[in-house]
A = this chain, B = another copy of it.
Amino acid sequence: MEDINLHFTGDFNAVEKANNLLSALIDNNIQSKVNNLNIDPRTILWKRVIDMNDRALRDITIGLGGTANGVPREDGFNITPASEVMAILCMATSFDNLKERLGSIFIGFTFDKKPVFARDLKAENAMAILLKDAIKPNLVQTLEENPAIIHGGPFANIAQGTNTVLATKMGLSLSNYVVTEAGFGADLGAEKFLNIKSAFAGLNPKCVVLVATIRALRHHGGAQKEEYNTPSLERVEEGFKNLEKHIGNIRKFNIEPVVAINSFISDSEEEVNLVIEKCQNLGVYAVLSEGWAKGGEGTKELAKAVVDVVENKATQFKPLYDWKSPVKEKIETIAREIYGADGVIYDKKAELNLRRIDRLGFSDFAICMAKTQKSFSDDEKLIGRPTGFKVTVREIEIAAGAQFIIPILGKMMRMPGLPARPASEGMTIDNNGVISGLS
């Protein structure tokens, strides 16, 4: 676990380096008179990334200190999982396609208002070289020695939230069943897995496992933090509305869900049974999943339910929107259908961003929402199944190589900060390399 959370195979680092190489090439081109592309430094949308929660780097001024130090301009760092290079790695269908996409990254404009792409800086090959190993899926094994492929790490709240197309296709070529994680709430991970990755890669998912916990249902039912571990049929009943909305959402894609109740020792039997019963009423399997405690044995029932759905109830997946629809229509579809919002408000800046997307001919891209994972809405305080709300698009980023339009909702940031008491304070490592305090 630690080794995966630490540097692992270096893929994150490779993504970070490829991203930042492009940044250095941009600033170098502005500085240099050789092959100068006449880039207007104030229009550069391409940001540096760092794999660190570092809020102080969100909004910075670079190139200060005189003529030897580049040209002053405003910039900012995103966290590495939010890098378009990560998105490209996840969407690439081949090494050639990787280079093609890297070259298509949109950077900004010249002083003559012409768009500039990474390929104008001849950056795609050097970036691809840095990614030559990262593009290869990583095969690991579980504690029970089952094979697992770990490849790509885009968080679902700020990015597309699921692993690479290559890894999934490799899995499909090797096995009858491939299970893929798409985290951070099905309104984020599943929505993007289906509308972006599956739609693009021609995947035909047969079943969606919705992972629920009694704890989380209590929370969505109104329990305070200190009550999370206290059984309460009432809270679970109220919180079930959240799960019910997710169930309905999956069915909008013409897929049958299975609910996995991720077992905790604080769960009461009554609560678990309540969830199972309410799911049955909706015609959905709900199964207690005890993988954490019992390994494969503990998820047998879940597996059977999934097999049953795939074998006997599978329907033909269809995405919720057509990539070719107008941008606002696509955003509105997600907001209304998946989030249950009454509509979408666009801040001035977002409206200007939309006009630019249109002018650049990027309207056919997929929508990759950046939204809090704590609520269906863009306000993390609205728990359960909120209604009567609108979501606000603050600004819209472009990832032309990944072919994403990224609306930033509410207060979402693509660079997180550390907590007031950072986890690092509690970590120790002894002379034998034994680590404690990683949570």
Contacts and interface: CB of A to CB of B under 8 A. Distances in A.
A222 interface: no
Interface stretch (A122-130, A236-244, A265-273, A282-290): A122-130
Interface of A: 2, 6-7, 10, 13-14, 17, 20-21, 23-25, 27-28, 31-35, 40-43, 50-74, 94-96, 99, 121-123, 125-126, 128-130, 132-133, 345, 347-348, 392, 394, 413, 417-418, 420-425, 427-429, 431, 433, 435, 437-438
Given A56-B62, A66-B42, A132-B429, A25 B71 contact: no
Contacts of A421: 32, 34-35
A433 to B, nearest CB: 5
Given A125-B437, A129-B427, 17 more contacts: A7-B10, A24-B54, A27-B55, A28-B420, A40-B67, A56-B63, A56-B69, A56-B70, A56-B73, A59-B65, A65-B74, A66-B74, A68-B413, A72-B74, A122-B424, A122-B425, A132-B429
Contacts of A74: 64-66, 72
9 contacts: A2-B129, A10-B13, A20-B52, A24-B56, A27-B54, A42-B67, A56-B69, A56-B70, A348-B392
B56 A31 contact: yes
B132 A433 contact: yes
Given A55-B68, A348-B392, A61 B60 contact: yes
B31 A55 contact: yes
Contacts of A424: 21, 25, 122-123, 125-126
A87 B98 CA distance: 37
